[in-house]
Amino acid sequence: MKSRGFTLIELLVVVAIIAVLLSIMLPALSQAREQAKNAYCLNNLRQMTLAAETYIQSFNDSYPLAYDTPPLAGSIQYSNAWDFSTTTDWSTGERKVVPGLLWQGQTNEKIQQCPSYSGKNNWLDDPYTGYNYNTSYIGGNRTEYGVQASARIGQVQNPGQCALFGDGEYRGGANKFMRSPWPGTLDAGFSGRSGGTQGYRHLKRTNVAFADGHVVSWEKRCTETYPFDKINIVEGTGFLSEINEVVYDLE
């Protein structure tokens, strides 16, 4: 006796069932993938806090500068940032990128890449990007405002409430300098606060590492700042709080 094949209707039913199953499974698989990326990101940020602790022990209880451009040394220009440092030889045009001040020149550079950020860096030739550093209160910046020392660990009165590193992102791409919504002690003359917002790219949350070493996925997204700058804060980016005192300052 010959076996009977599937009829067209039966095939259509099977295809429809498969399509329904895929529509149910794909969102769950996508969410699981994003959760895995989130865990990877949190681990990266945790590694940064450990590096900060090591730096503090080596440099008189002070945090690393966020950015520093020393005077030219012959034909060599140094651009030292907390994550990556770049040397440029103006006589040849050659650039060399090495792990930055936080890492004291040594690390697995991929730690500086957020797995959920796919955009390009917007800073010299950095090979990896996606994170920023509290430049309003923690990391000093000699380039913008003259000699500005970074905060010392003893000045951080509530380490569990002071953001140190996070997912940096603004309307132009990645940013490596975290800014509070209003001027901080180390960037009082800086305008354009929206340039230092956080990216809410982990299932509508942003990851933050605090000065005491703990890391969290932060849900609250704020856009309050100067009116002229508020319009520059796009969907998926924002500040961690409406005021500096919640998570940015040292108190």
Please report, rounded to a whole number, the percentage of residues in the chain having pLDDT higher than 70: 92
pLDDT at 5 over 70: no
Whether residue 99 is contained in a domain is answered as no
The pLDDT score that the predictor gives to residue 225 is: 97
Whether residue 197 is contained in a domain is answered as yes
pTM (global) more than 0.95 = no
Q: What is the pLDDT of residues 30-41, one digit of tens each?
A: 676 888 999 999
Whether residue 65 is contained in a domain is answered as no
Burial bucket for residue 184 (CB in 10 Å: 0-12, 13-18, 19+): buried
Average pLDDT for the chain: 91
Q: What is the pLDDT of residues 197-250, one digit of tens each?
A: 999 999 999 999 999 999 999 999 999 999 999 999 999 999 999 999 999 999
Tell me how far apart the alpha carbons of residues 83 and 71 are, in angstroms, rounded to a whole number. 20
Residue range 179-195: average pLDDT? Answer: 93
| Cβ contact 191:138 at 8 Å | no
Residue range 159-184: average pLDDT? Answer: 96
More reliable by pLDDT, 16 or 188? 188
Domain count, the chain: 1
Classified as helix, coil or strand, 25 is: helix
| Cβ contact 35:27 at 8 Å | no
Provide the domain limits for residue 160: 9-60+110-247
Q: Which long-range contacts (CB under 8 A, 24 or more apart) does 81-89 make?
A: 81/123, 81/176, 82/133, 82/139, 82/176, 83/112, 83/126, 83/131, 83/133, 83/176, 84/109, 84/112, 84/123, 84/124, 84/126, 84/127, 84/128, 86/124, 86/125, 86/126
Whether residue 213 is contained in a domain is answered as yes
Q: What is the pLDDT of residues 57-88, one digit of tens each?
A: 999 999 999 999 888 889 999 999 999 999 99
More reliable by pLDDT, 114 or 122? 114
| Cβ contact 81:100 at 8 Å | yes
Whether residue 19 is contained in a domain is answered as yes
Single-letter code of the amino acid located at 76: I
Whether residue 93 is contained in a domain is answered as no
- Conformational region of residue 93, where left means phi above 0, alpha means psi within -120 to 50, and beta covers everything else: left
Burial call 68-85: b when 16+ CB within 10 Å, e when fewer: beeeeeeeebebbbbbbb
For strands 67-68 and 76-81, give the pairing.
antiparallel
**pLDDT confidence band for 25 (50 / 70 / 90):** low
| Cβ contact 249:184 at 8 Å | yes
More reliable by pLDDT, 146 or 117? 117
Whether residue 160 is contained in a domain is answered as yes
Whether residue 196 is contained in a domain is answered as yes
**pLDDT confidence band for 28 (50 / 70 / 90):** low
The pLDDT score that the predictor gives to residue 32 is: 67
